[in-house]
A and B are shown apart, each in its own frame.
Chain A
Amino acid sequence: MLRGSSHILLWSWKSCMPLQKYLHEEYSVDMVPLWTQKEKMVFSRQIIMSEQLRKFEEPLKTDLEELLGRFQRTTSVRYEDFSSMWRDMKFGDIFHGIQNLKEKNAFSRIALNTATAYFLPPYSFQVRVGGLYVLYGLYHSQCSLPKQKIRLALKDWGDVQAFTQDALSSQHYDVVYILHKLLGTKAFHFTAMPVPLAFLRDKKNQVMPNTEAVAKPSSRPQQLVTTEMLEEVANIHQHYKQLKASVSAQHPEASLNLVRHNLVPKLFNSVMSFSTWQNIHTQGGEASVQSTSLDEPSTSSSSNQHQQQQECSRRADLLASIKARSYGQVVEVAKSRRHRQAELCSAGDAGPREDPGMGGVPGAIPRRRRRFHNSLRYRTLRRLYETGGIPEEFLTSTKLWRLSKADQEETTRAIKTRFKW
């Protein structure tokens, strides 16, 4: 078979794999042929596992803080007190209820990682002792196999050493004993970073706090155009005019008027109008004392603002009513297109419809609303159908194993109730 080998060598692997072009990221996910739908399902199952476990982070924190809070209230660092509390709360049962070994391991990892935070600074000594006891308890009550280890980063090792020294010097022997026992049973992984990092940006948890209400409105123009600045500009302007007059003695030429005559008053006026506009548009009336270092009387401006506010709201109301009237009326289309009457739907309805039988567009496929938004493919097909470009059959996908089916048959999709945490 080496006969054709030189010819074959010239081919790149890409030309032999036409499928790959569909899988490139440039193409939308839904232009991929049908058989990758299953792949999507497999991926989504994996997402479910790690998302499931993320739901446990909050309850874990609650439970740990409950336990450590109780321990702190006793103001003792004795292990006996801690263990009686542990037994009382039956904390060891926190690992119960998982059937899958992989999930057991993952949950143990999360629990140990969360608890390690309490063992390290900046918590107080008592909380750290409580954290150590919690780690001991969690390590020995876990049901996972192999036993998941406590991660200790290099930067925290120094703190642990110092902690041990403190405990030893204060004769808290049970603390030191427990720590030595943990080290002896090889319960620690000596790592670089406290948590394995995979460059996963947590988009959901980073909720940007809504700072609009409390943010100071920008005052840059006012900062730029201050009284001193205006005086300086007026001076320079004066000098400039004098220079120009001295240069062209007889008659000043019109073409040399490159600068406005009333530059300084105009600057002042524009900044003032900007600041009044800002004050109208910020919520509450406190902005009326914005950083205008110009000492203009602002008493008249406040009443002005009020009037302006009223005007603005009246205008807004007017606009809103006009819009509502226009969108509220549905234009009747010509009789020739009566099969495609326009419909009035409210704003909430603008998204995908849940079930097809609601008098909406026939052939609409029930879509899961929350998880995935309607794909570009579906939206394009819908739009084309609505504008009359494609027949109805194009909306549903042809199942390969049902290439021929009776005309009246319809397969209704069973809507599964999914479990929501």
Chain B
Amino acid sequence: MAASNADGTLGEHVPRYESNDLNSQVIHIGSFRNSWLETLPPDLYSYEIKSEEIEIAQLAEVLQIPTETLNELKDICSVDSLKSHPDDQPVDSNVVPPNPDLACLRLRKKRQDYKKTLVRDLVGRHDTYSNEMESVHMGLMPEDSTSVVPEGEIILSFNIVYPILFERFKHVRAHQTMQVLGSQNLTELRDAICCVSDLQVFGEFSNMPDATPQYISKDHYKSAFFYFEGVFYNDTRYPECRDISETTREWAKTRDFPEFKTAKMEDMTFYDLRMKIGYPYFYCHQGDCEHVMVLTDIRLIHPDDCRDRTLYPLLSHKHRVMTRKCCVCHLYISRWITTNDRLAPMDPCLFCDKCFRMLHYDAQGNKLYDFQAYVYVDPGVFN
């Protein structure tokens, strides 16, 4: 007699799959949160874990059985009943047990046997620390109690993809995954997204290699916008910010698209948004650096999540990029890129600082021949 799951009986704020089974329909995040908070008893989403006595007392009330039966239940259903090996014989969980019956274990044993046949089994150094980002933030409490995230808060996870993506690599995990609190503004997410195009430095510096200017593109071009469900959210915090979504909106008007609306990024929190889960959306900054963003998950906060409000938006996954090394020494990360350079093996060519100066300038710092040099910021700078 379970309640039927037909669409008609569900409320309108309950997320469901759309017909393509890839994303949900449009939901209003604030009302989604309210729906959960209404149906859940508060102790289920609170941070504290109840002590045993209270739990037993409550259970006795609910089940309405005498305490001896309850104690009996406790013994039968304890966690020890799941252990397949007695406590005094510890088993190494990193090794597949011999003669496995389970299909998963047999599959894993294949890999284990293969690894045994290898002469050298190299563990990539990235794999050792691959989980570090998540484990560092586990259950982290802030030092002062004012910046604790309250219970019942919503965490949204966004996948932000590389601005230029090869078709072949679309199935790779995204460039970054950020976790954001529902009560934060959109501007906080915008500030937290790290993209290498924000760090670009202008100018041709072959004549004055020591004189790189101090400002970067992030300070110059401050306009940005998010696009969610037919609304462009523009960043208007600074006087230099312009509405860069205007061109798109005007183009859309000439092409029979529905009217797109605009809103201010700094006024909106995530609770006010209406979005689809699992559907690609858009973030544009620097005029033409475009990122696809996907909202992958919305859930209530859990005691194991980071509870320090100042740390949000939290980077929970970052793809490690191979940095490009200097073409001369192959040791240092390159900082200069040259074109029209007759001594370089290819056009354009990357150099680290030392090799660049040794090749192109003499001891006094005079330019030795004609070439063009630009500052290069490697995409792996955020590693």
A4 sits at the interface (CB 8 A): yes
Q: Collect the chain A residues with CB atoms within 8 Å of residue B167's CB.
A: 25
Complex-state Cα separation, A318 to B375, whole angstroms: 68
- Whether the Cβ atoms of A16 and B374 lie closer than 8 Å is yes
- Whether the Cβ atoms of B202 and A60 lie closer than 8 Å is no
* Chain B residue at minimum C-beta to C-beta distance from A121: B2
* Chain A residue at minimum C-beta to C-beta distance from B337: A19
* Chain A residue at minimum C-beta to C-beta distance from B48: A186
B83 sits at the interface (CB 8 A): yes
Q: Collect the chain A residues with CB atoms within 8 Å of residue B202's CB.
A: 8-9, 11, 13, 16
- Whether the Cβ atoms of A18 and B108 lie closer than 8 Å is no
A86 sits at the interface (CB 8 A): yes
Q: Which of B172, B200, B299 has the most CB of A within 10 A?
A: B299
- Whether the Cβ atoms of B111 and A419 lie closer than 8 Å is yes
> Of A92-100, A300-308, A322-330, which binds chain B?
A92-100
- Whether the Cβ atoms of A56 and B22 lie closer than 8 Å is no
* Chain A residue at minimum C-beta to C-beta distance from B46: A186
Q: Collect the chain A residues with CB atoms within 8 Å of residue B96's CB.
A: 96-97
Q: Collect the chain A residues with CB atoms within 8 Å of residue B70's CB.
A: 177
A209 sits at the interface (CB 8 A): no
Q: Collect the chain A residues with CB atoms within 8 Å of residue B100's CB.
A: 93
- Whether the Cβ atoms of A155 and B171 lie closer than 8 Å is no
Consensus secondary structure, chain B interface: loop
- Whether the Cβ atoms of B171 and A50 lie closer than 8 Å is yes
Q: How far is the CB of A146 from chain B (nearest CB, A)?
A: 5
B318 sits at the interface (CB 8 A): no
Complex-state Cα separation, A386 to B74, whole angstroms: 78
- Whether the Cβ atoms of A50 and B173 lie closer than 8 Å is yes
A23 sits at the interface (CB 8 A): yes
Interface members, chain B 25-54 (any A CB < 8 Å) = 27, 32, 35-36, 39-40, 44-45, 49-50
Complex-state Cα separation, A50 to B319, whole angstroms: 14
Q: A99-B94, A102-B131 are in contact. Are A197 and B104 (CB under 8 A)?
A: no
Interface members, chain B 294-350 (any A CB < 8 Å) = 294, 296-300, 302-304, 319-322, 324, 327, 330, 337, 339, 345-346, 348, 350
Interface members, chain A 185-238 (any B CB < 8 Å) = 185-186, 188-193, 196-201
- Whether the Cβ atoms of B82 and A83 lie closer than 8 Å is yes
Q: How far is the CB of B285 from chain A (nearest CB, A)?
A: 11
Complex-state Cα separation, A100 to B135, whole angstroms: 14
- Whether the Cβ atoms of B15 and A5 lie closer than 8 Å is no
- Whether the Cβ atoms of B135 and A146 lie closer than 8 Å is yes
- Whether the Cβ atoms of B59 and A180 lie closer than 8 Å is yes
Q: A19-B337, A83-B81 are in contact. Are A159 and B2 (CB under 8 A)?
A: yes
Q: Which of B92, B112, B166 contacts A29 (CB 8 A)?
A: B166
A243 sits at the interface (CB 8 A): no
Q: Collect the chain B residues with CB atoms within 8 Å of residue A43's CB.
A: 166, 168-169, 172
Q: Which of B84, B130, B297 contacts A90 (CB 8 A)?
A: B84
Q: A16-B202, A96-B94 are in contact. Are A141 and B173 (CB under 8 A)?
A: no
- Whether the Cβ atoms of B203 and A8 lie closer than 8 Å is yes
- Whether the Cβ atoms of B93 and A143 lie closer than 8 Å is yes
Q: How far is the CB of B8 from chain A (nearest CB, A)?
A: 13
A89 sits at the interface (CB 8 A): yes
Q: How far is the CB of B291 from chain A (nearest CB, A)?
A: 14
User: Interface 1/0s, chain B 53-71, versus A by CB < 8 A?
Assistant: 0010001001101000110
- Whether the Cβ atoms of B107 and A96 lie closer than 8 Å is no
Consensus secondary structure, chain A interface: helix
- Whether the Cβ atoms of A158 and B3 lie closer than 8 Å is yes
B1 sits at the interface (CB 8 A): yes
Q: Collect the chain B residues with CB atoms within 8 Å of residue A196's CB.
A: 157, 278, 296-297
B77 sits at the interface (CB 8 A): yes
Give the total of A residues in contact with B, Cβ under 8 Å.
107
- Whether the Cβ atoms of A56 and B15 lie closer than 8 Å is no
Q: A178-B77, A192-B299, A200-B171 are in contact. Are A5 and B213 (CB under 8 A)?
A: yes
Interface members, chain A 99-133 (any B CB < 8 Å) = 99-102, 105, 121
- Whether the Cβ atoms of B81 and A87 lie closer than 8 Å is yes
- Whether the Cβ atoms of A96 and B59 lie closer than 8 Å is no
- Whether the Cβ atoms of B278 and A198 lie closer than 8 Å is yes
> Of A168-176, A279-287, A288-296, which binds chain B?
A168-176
B138 sits at the interface (CB 8 A): yes
Q: Collect the chain B residues with CB atoms within 8 Å of residue A8's CB.
A: 202-203, 213
Q: A98-B94, A174-B73 are in contact. Are A60 and B127 (CB under 8 A)?
A: no
Interface members, chain A 136-156 (any B CB < 8 Å) = 136-137, 140-141, 143, 145-147, 149, 151, 153-156
Q: A99-B94, A141-B82, A145-B135 are in contact. Are A421 and B173 (CB under 8 A)?
A: no
Q: Which of A87, A192, A400 contacts B327 (CB 8 A)?
A: A400
Q: How far is the CB of B36 from chain A (nearest CB, A)?
A: 6
Q: How far is the CB of A137 from chain B (nearest CB, A)?
A: 5
B145 sits at the interface (CB 8 A): no
- Whether the Cβ atoms of B15 and A155 lie closer than 8 Å is yes
Complex-state Cα separation, A400 to B105, whole angstroms: 45
Q: Collect the chain B residues with CB atoms within 8 Å of residue A178's CB.
A: 77
- Whether the Cβ atoms of B322 and A38 lie closer than 8 Å is yes
Q: Which 4 pairs, one residue from A and one from B, show the smallest C-beta to C-beta distance?
A: A197-B278, A59-B103, A97-B96, A191-B299
Which positions in B face A, CB cutoff 8 Å?
1-3, 5, 10, 14-17, 22-24, 27, 32, 35-36, 39-40, 44-45, 49-50, 55, 59, 62-63, 65, 69-70, 73-74, 76-77, 79, 81-84, 91-97, 100-112, 114, 124, 127, 130-131, 134-135, 138-139, 157, 159, 164-174, 197, 200-204, 211, 213-214, 217, 220, 277-280, 286-288, 294, 296-300, 302-304, 319-322, 324, 327, 330, 337, 339, 345-346, 348, 350, 374-376
Q: Contacts A25-B167, A140-B79, A154-B36 given; 6 further ones with Cβ under 8 A?
A: A1-B211, A24-B164, A96-B97, A101-B135, A186-B302, A192-B24
